[in-house]
Chains A and B, each alone.
Chain A
């Protein structure tokens, strides 16, 4: 039997899911801006990030997507928890922003958006390009990524081919990887130090810093 629906036939599932996730991400981001309640903001943010992770999966970067889910969700979870803890008092749950600021920010934001969109659309090199949805699953991206992180570039052209120089140019990411890991450690220690419970030894509740006003 041959049931042929032209509309469905024209559907490019990849494009469809892209539009779905993109719409989710953008709309939820806008929701983050519009929301008053901090917890809701965080909720929208997490959903938006999840949708972005979906975009990553669509773009074939599964590892990045999973990383996005794990870290961003974890980090934002902590954000949320602290937000709830800090703003448990009624007045802080929602802090109103003056309307003038909103309008101004909106104008500025739209100008920025216009600039960015201009840059994004006008480049012919970036437009179009055939996305092959079925080619994705058979191209493991995690392995070359991991190999690159330990310093080997398997995705580079094999030696002996015409662009072996390019292979030589493309080196691994071992050093940045190490740097980032050390940086993470330092940041954790520093955060623990900053956030540790200080016993107040008579220091003023509002340390005031004077600039230039001193006669």
Chain B
């Protein structure tokens, strides 16, 4: 899109890049904030329905759809309290750490073909690593607020997240292995076509490991039933007992956005990313590579697909939260170390063997010719690189020329 600007509007290159960066950051930020608002409202309604209540009804007319906004205003207006004896600097900085972590994770998150803040060829790994950083803020908060409850919550969170990273990593390695790349875009492209190409249905092991991933994801963002960090029945409110106002809302935004992130990651890794269950665009003969506007239309369609899948994932988490009781800390650990990790390991080995035995996956094994299978990632990459823009030109530019324009 930067190329588009450069080419059509003739903006200077540096300005175009800066503009694109700012635009991406703006979009992601708004996505997080808006997503948080929407999900808070949704959670209220879902929990109310599950508990046979109505939930917010009045605010903002029907369905109380402005309820979260009103809450936000209230939080903005609230006074920020800080207990005495707290470590002021850490206390203040902790929420932003969490928020920045989940924000940074969104950088490498693709929303549609080529619609990614920064395309890293280690995208999956990056996202997981940065998600781990979010816990850091929580711990800082728990320690800094000089309260037993907060410290307990922080400790639980630390133990839980650090131990759940192991099976989570294993689950993620499986799609990476199947796709042969850690690039999220490539992984999603590999699943293009009908929904049978999704890695979820690649083989029984991936199907099982998807649910392991769901469990670990829920745990790593410490949602119920793994929300030991804020266990209002035992610890008053866990790590954010002492927080109020805007800082508290930052924690909330970080939590919901990381939920969204994990769900999106699940969508990209297992559910075909922005490829819908039915390849509509291909059926009508369109692709990202074809043309300017049509290409962007196809991408918007993909964006809709991905957001839908991610939202479904978040709703699924809410459903679980309001359905299952909270586990004890030892049960949490047992679940991780005695069940998730071995199962993930076994599934990983199984998937590996399956890939070695029949690389084509179930459909190839059944010999079912599926339209779209023919379209390989190589072509995708080619088409993408053939696309308008100076990238290939820049890449083709010899190094000495680069040095030539460098002032000595």
Contact = CB atoms under 8 A, between A and B. Distances in A.
Asked whether any CB of A lies within 8 Å of a CB of B in the complex, the reply is yes
Interface of A: 2-4, 8-9, 11, 13, 37, 39-40, 43, 46, 50, 62-63, 65-67, 69-70, 73-74, 77-78, 80-81, 84-85, 130, 132, 134-135, 137-138, 140-143
Size category of the B interface is 35 or more
Given A9-B14, A40-B87, A73-B132, A134 B395 contact: yes
Interface of B: 10, 12, 14-15, 17, 87, 89-90, 93, 119-122, 125-126, 128-130, 132-133, 135-136, 139-140, 143-144, 151, 155, 158-159, 162, 165, 181-183, 391, 394-395, 399, 402-403, 406
B267 to A, nearest CB: 21
A138 B394 CA distance: 10
A77 B122 contact: no
A11 B12 CA distance: 13
Nearest to B392: A138
Given A40-B90, A138-B395, A143-B181, 12 more contacts: A3-B15, A4-B12, A9-B14, A39-B143, A46-B136, A63-B122, A81-B158, A84-B143, A84-B151, A132-B399, A134-B394, A140-B183
A62 B120 contact: yes
Contacts of A77: 132, 135-136, 139, 158, 162
5 contacts: A39-B143, A40-B90, A66-B126, A69-B132, A84-B143
B135 A142 contact: no
B38 to A, nearest CB: 29
B404 to A, nearest CB: 9
A73 B394 CA distance: 36
B87 A134 contact: no
B164 to A, nearest CB: 11
B136 A73 contact: yes
A73 to B, nearest CB: 6
Given A40-B87, A62-B120, A134 B136 contact: no
Contact of A69 (B90, B121, B130, B183): B130
A141 B399 CA distance: 19
B391 A63 contact: no
A8 B402 CA distance: 18
B133 A73 contact: yes
Interface of A, helix, strand, loop or mixed by DSSP = helix
A130 B400 CA distance: 8
Contacts of A78: 158, 162
Given A40-B87, A43-B140, A135-B395, A140 B132 contact: no
Given A39-B90, A63-B125, A142-B121, A74 B12 contact: no
A15 to B, nearest CB: 10
Contact of B399 (A4, A130, A137, A138): A130
B401 to A, nearest CB: 9
Contacts of A66: 122, 125-126, 129
B399 A50 contact: no
Contacts of B155: 81, 84-85
Q: Which 8 A-B residue pairs are closest in the complex by CB-CB distance?
A: A70-B129, A130-B403, A69-B129, A140-B121, A66-B125, A62-B122, A134-B394, A66-B126
Among A13, A80, A134, A135, the most chain B Cβ lie within 10 Å of the Cβ of A134
Among A39, A43, A77, the most chain B Cβ lie within 10 Å of the Cβ of A43
Contacts of B121: 62, 140-143
Contacts of B391: 134, 138
